Amino acid sequence: MHSRSMEPEDVTFQLLEEITDGFSKERKLGEGAFGVVYRGLTKNGEDVAVKKLRDNAFALDHMQFQNELDNLMKLNHQNIVRLYGYCYQIEQTSMELPDGVKILAEQPHGALCFEFLHNGSLQNHLSDEFSGLDWNTRYKIIKGTCEGLKHIHEELAEPLCHLDIKPDNILLDNNMEPKLADFGLSKIFCDKELTWTAQSSLGTIGYQPPEYIERREISTKFDIFSLGVVMIRIVSGPNGYEKCAYMPSKDFIDQVRKWPFSSITSNNFQSNTVTFTFEWWHPSLIV
């Protein structure tokens, strides 16, 4: 169905049904903000992930589906999930009205087909500070996530803001290399320094910056704040994160200085991101 050297393909809904066994419950991987994700198997034996927009919510979520597709078509980076194919199709179906009259109705179908990430989401791998991922793996995930974010913020002709960075939207391949996923809420920023006011709900509680919560202000700093929360969770584990969130500023600074971040500052972007992230997340913090 695809080649890594080719652009994403326009595929049929029938093909996606076939490779997911009719979108069977057994192949269901999870649910996102506006769709259900299934594991598919192509004719050449390769696993793929298929995100199917819910049929009964298509009118409401079509713009979000189109937004994700448009933004994914522009992205090509090792730390961003790769789009293989997409489908937007209208099926004519027969419906019977309460009075017994049969009519033809249009049933829209929308789906996106992605590379399959065998290690699932980062959320599945977070654990307390005494078990789970070793430091080298945690650092690899942090660095790769920063690189993916750098790509959409700084390396595109039109900067893109993800607006929903969280462990559920960071997927891991066989080598635990992270890839940003779920661009349904993402927005283009003609100027990355631009700030604007959101008209709809964005992001996930716990990962939203204070200026958004208090004034609904949006900028690329939204992603940096979310990244900071993710980094703290990666380094400290969920139990450690709760402690960090409520401890005094001085205690938090002392805690951060104990973390093995020395290698992460070798790259200028990483250094700026790490420093800015923690300053943004916790008042008066300087790493």
Q: Determine the residue type at 267.
A: N
Options 10, 61, 128, 164, the catalytic residue: 164
Report residue 166 as tokens. 């969280």
DSSP H or E segment with residue 188: strand 187-188
What are the residues whose beta carbons fall under 8 Å from the beta carbon of 197, sequence distance 6 or more? 215, 216, 217, 218
61 is catalytic: no
d(CA 9, CA 1): 8
d(CA 50, CA 37): 5
Answer yes or no: are the C-beta atoms of 114 and 83 closer than 8 Å: yes
Task: Give the orientation angle of helix 135-154 with respect to helix 221-246, to 10 degrees.
Answer: 150
d(CA 13, CA 45): 19
d(CA 52, CA 139): 33
DSSP H or E segment with residue 144: helix 135-154
Q: Which of these, 97, 66, 85, lies nearest to 10 by C-alpha position?
A: 85
Q: Which of these, 113, 198, 186, 197, lies nearest to 148 by C-alpha position?
A: 186
Strand pairing partners for 106? 92
- Hey, which residues are catalytic here? 164
